[in-house]
Structure 1
């Protein structure tokens, strides 16, 4: 059963007016909305209205009020300028993607030093009803704008678990820690699905992405502990980039450490990249984390990383993401 954060319901928009002109016009707006039974709630200078009626109110504000002195928000998010409201409404297509489950998974191989497939990373790919693809950066931006990140992340995790079940091989599945507000609620359905499908939990590696947005390390640790206590493993992605630092690596002690591709590509001929790659390698081994190099495209980089002690590798050299897992 999904939690309230993961269910796609009609949005409520809160509109807050400032300024002498706006506050003078506001009672008339409230009176009109009340007569048409479209207003949801009024608190001082804040109107709460359903999305279905919000477009007309937005047009009125732009035509008859000082729109620069009006703000809006959804689901108790931060207040934003009214000028951004139409963008949020134009992204309503994300609701359909989630409710209709318009997501599939591509498989990218992860190999060992002998270039044997050790695991697959499952990467979400999205499509509209007409079959056209939606790029991940576009869909996650829409999800954030409309407060659908919880629901989208859950859909991706659940879909990946279903795709992983027939493989009987270790699979890496991304998750966004900021989309999980309480592990015992948000992750329960993922764990239950894996159990229902009879998959050994140790075959799943949940990969922490977007650590730069994590401002509560204790919360992230609670999420990872929840996974670990149920037999799952976890990885730290993009190590060396942003907030995925050596300090973060030592704090989280992941089962797998994924070195960011900017230190992988060209490492065979770049002393600075070699130094950093070795530093992360040493720290990974120190905490018994398996070192994995991602973004490997050239054989000379692979050979250098292999000789240096990296144990797992991922990148176009071994296979691009594909709807059919490479054997």
Structure 2
């Protein structure tokens, strides 16, 4: 059984109105919707309706109500100006992407200091049913606007586990958004069951906290990571310099891997400011017992400098762009 946030059930729109004229119109609106067979629940200052009802209300509101005194929210999310409701409805296409799992994964290599492939990061790729590409900068805002971020994160995780099953003797880094998980025992059960069904060794999977949603509830994140650890999985922190600034915090989270963001990697061989940050990061990682990983490497000089300082894992276009199939190339010769 899935929770409502992880499924793609019809959205519920809660509409709140203010102003005497707006409030006086509510009984007429309820009566109109009931005659049309639309499920509607009257509230003290508004309505709770499905998307079809929200469209009816939108038409009525545009012509007969004071627009600026109406707000709405989706599935108990944040209240927004009613003028933004059309944007939510225009992004209904995200529901089909999730329901039909129009998602694949590409593999990007992560190598060790000798140039040997250590792992692949599983990067989600999205498409419409006609095969046209949907870019991440389109799909994640759409999912967030429609309250589908939880469902999208779940289907991306599940897809990544399926693609990880094709890998042998190397690890798979799988991104996840911690704010999309209410209860690890409930929300992550399907992920662990799928890994077991596919015969994927838990030690092969590394779940990576992505930077898309900054983590404010540290205790909740610790609960999620403890669940992963209990199940035998490893975990990584991305964008550590931005969101996890103190040694105490990092020591508390105990990540297996820490990623240095590409903004500090690219050009580091000749930039003293970036070198200072990279060395501070390295010191933090080693102090808390994490493996330091530099991402976004595009130049040999940056790779050489980071390797000489003690970085252990590396990722970036220098070693390979994301590809539909895992690369079989050994980069040892280029890493010398």
Aligned-pair CA distance for 1:285: 1.0
Aligned-pair CA distance for 1:212: 5.3
TM-score (norm 2): 0.94
Q: What are the Cα deviations for residues 14-48 of structure 1, in whole angstroms up to 9, with x where unaligned?
A: 11110122112222222222222314200122111
After the TM superposition, which residues 304-323 of structure 1 pair with which residues of structure 2 at under 5 Å, given as runs? 304-323=305-324
More deviation, 186-195/20-29: 20-29
More deviation, 243-252/312-321: 243-252
| 1:174 counterpart residue number | 175
Counterpart Cα distance in 2 of 1:43 and 1:25: 13
Indicate if the aligned counterparts of 2:33 and 2:40 stay in contact, CA closer than 8 A. Answer: no
Cα pair distance change 1:246/1:268, threshold 3 Å: farther
| 2:72 counterpart residue number | 72
Q: What is the RMSD computed on CA atoms of the aligned residues?
A: 1.3
Indicate if the aligned counterparts of 1:119 and 1:170 stay in contact, CA closer than 8 A. Answer: yes
| 1:259 counterpart residue number | 260
| 2:332 counterpart residue number | none
| 1:156 counterpart residue number | 156
Secondary structure of the structure 2 residue equivalent to 1:218: helix
Q: What are the Cα deviations for residues 122-172 of structure 1, in whole angstroms up to 9, with x where unaligned?
A: 000000011111111211111111111111111000000000012122010
After the TM superposition, which residues 1-327 of structure 1 pair with which residues of structure 2 at under 5 Å, given as runs? 1-168=1-168, 169-210=170-211, 213-240=214-241, 242-247=242-247, 248-327=249-328
Counterpart Cα distance in 2 of 1:186 and 1:7: 11
Q: What are the Cα deviations for residues 92-111 of structure 1, in whole angstroms up to 9, with x where unaligned?
A: 10110000000000000001
Counterpart Cα distance in 2 of 1:288 and 1:49: 51
Counterpart Cα distance in 2 of 1:148 and 1:286: 38
Give the number of aligned pairs: 326
Instruction: List, as ranges, runs of 4+ consecutive aligned residues in structure 1 with deviation greater than 4 Å.
Output: none
Secondary structure of the structure 1 residue equivalent to 2:243: coil
Counterpart Cα distance in 2 of 1:166 and 1:321: 16
Indicate if the aligned counterparts of 1:211 and 1:243 stay in contact, CA closer than 8 A. Answer: no
